[in-house]
Amino acid sequence: MPVITPVADAGRQISDAEFLQFQGLLQRLAGIHLSPAKKALICGRLGKRLKHHGLASYGEYFCLLTGAHEAGELQIAVDLLTTNETYFFREPKHFDFLRERILPLRTPGSPFRVWSAACSSGEEPYSLAMLLAERLGAAPWELVASDLSTRVLEKARSGLYPMERARNIPHNYLKAYCLKGTGQHEGSLLIERSLRARINFLQVNLNEPLPRLGEFDLIFLRNVMIYFEPETKRKVVERLIPALKPGGHLLIGHSETLNGVTEGLRSVSPSIYRKA
């Protein structure tokens, strides 16, 4: 007799009340707003955690997550619920702007400091690092890269990517800063060790008071505010402005706006702001 396996696990439903619990949790923790249209996203991403723990409902999983000793599971859930899409040299106009308009103005002698503030799996900070290494040569520069998700940070630190991700990396950078994986890493691209060592990867939740990281010449805050409601966005930008040097630049994603949250910032061109 053929064995018919039910697909019920994949299809376990989340009730409206349970959805509201997860919506509130993600809003409180990360500032991320999940619209009701994202119900399927919760089931798609967290369904396997219910299965892993042998739980029958999202309500039970929520209780487990918010229990006293479940910080590890909470991080796993946050990792699963964040959207981490990124690629090398995304929105290339920002890299042109850095090369042509920001770097020529830097103060010689003092380290040029950059923060990639929602760096996902590392493609953004490595793109920045390649450009800075090429343009600044022996001049000092520092690069901090942070994200809320520990899973993507681990990936970022490894500097290992599928080879097809290389298509957006300019050829001269590929030659200078990337290695072609061999053996078990066949089909992969590895960022060269000395470039990897230049980036300080750390976990930072933009929805909380920021750690003291010093002042930056440039902050990339790209494609993360799309997940925030206006009030969260305002607070995040307000937290970041003191971390910019006077005259420093804040770059946001091309599809994002600051919705008038620009006190202390001057718009230079769409998605590019400068601290007064």
Interface with ligand SAM includes 57 (CB under 6 A)? no
Minimum CB–partner distance for residue 152 and ligand SAM (Å)? 5
- What count of residues does the chain have? 276
The active-site residue out of 79, 147, 217, 222 is: 147
Q: Smaller CB distance to ligand SAM: residue 57 or 83?
A: 83
Q: Is 4 helix (H, G, I), strand (E, B) or coil?
A: coil
Minimum CB–partner distance for residue 110 and ligand SAM (Å)? 26
Q: Which two tokens stand for residue 17?
A: 């009340």
45 is catalytic: yes
DSSP structure class, residue 12:
-
> How many amino acids of this chain bind ligand SAM (CB under 6 A)?
24
Q: Is 15 helix (H, G, I), strand (E, B) or coil?
A: coil
71 and 249 in contact (C-beta within 8 Å)? no
Which of 252, 120, 155, 138 shows the shortest CA–CA distance to 198? 138
Alpha-carbon torsion, ordered 242, 247, 252, 254, to 10 deg: 160
* 150, 158, 205, 262: which one binds ligand SAM (CB under 6 A): 205
Q: Smaller CB distance to ligand SAM: residue 44 or 140?
A: 44
Interface with ligand SAM includes 124 (CB under 6 A)? yes
Q: Smaller CB distance to ligand SAM: residue 139 or 210?
A: 210
Q: Smaller CB distance to ligand SAM: residue 118 or 130?
A: 118
147 is catalytic: yes
Q: Smaller CB distance to ligand SAM: residue 32 or 129?
A: 32
Minimum CB–partner distance for residue 226 and ligand SAM (Å)? 8
CA distance 243 to 212: 8
Which of 87, 240, 219, 233 shows the shortest CA–CA distance to 145? 219
CA distance 201 to 157: 7
Place of tokens 């994002």: 256
Cα 131 to chain centroid, rounded = 19
Interface with ligand SAM includes 206 (CB under 6 A)? yes
* 26, 133, 191, 224: which one binds ligand SAM (CB under 6 A): 224
Residues with active-site annotation: 45, 147
Q: Applying CB under 6 A, which residues contact ligand SAM? A: 30-32, 82-86, 90, 118, 120, 124, 147-149, 152, 205-207, 222-224, 227, 253
